[in-house]
Amino acid sequence: MAGENIVTIDEQNFGQEVTSATTPVMLDFWAPWCGPCKMIAPALDELATEYKGRVKVGKVNVDENQNLAVKFGISGIPAVFMVKGGEVIDQVVGARSKKDFKAMMDRAIS
């Protein structure tokens, strides 16, 4: 499901991969049964490659990581959060365009 530049985030590696990250992290909360999640995956794969080293892209399977879903107040997926310095600085719920996700990344690194 995830491209080579996308990190699978779970409750075990969340602190290391997200809280302690030196770059902003885009978190994609998804599930295998979610159609819109599959629709945005190619755009996130492309952006993960384009922004490698500047923004980390991580995917969180909500079925397998319910504590993280609760922590972020996930009520609908896909839900994409931008985390910088351990704090949520941006978020969108629902399928969006690659342009929208790119804009989130650009705001996070500016």
Query: What positions carry a catalytic annotation?
Result: 34, 37
Task: Taking the CA atoms of 14, 47, 70 and 90 in sequence, report the sign of the dihedral they define.
Answer: positive
The tokens for 60 are 């969180």
DSSP one-letter code for 78: S
Q: Are 59 and 5 in contact (CB under 8 A)?
A: no
**DSSP H helical segments within the chain, as ranges?**
14, 35-50, 66-71, 98-109
Distance CA 18, CA 107 (A): 18
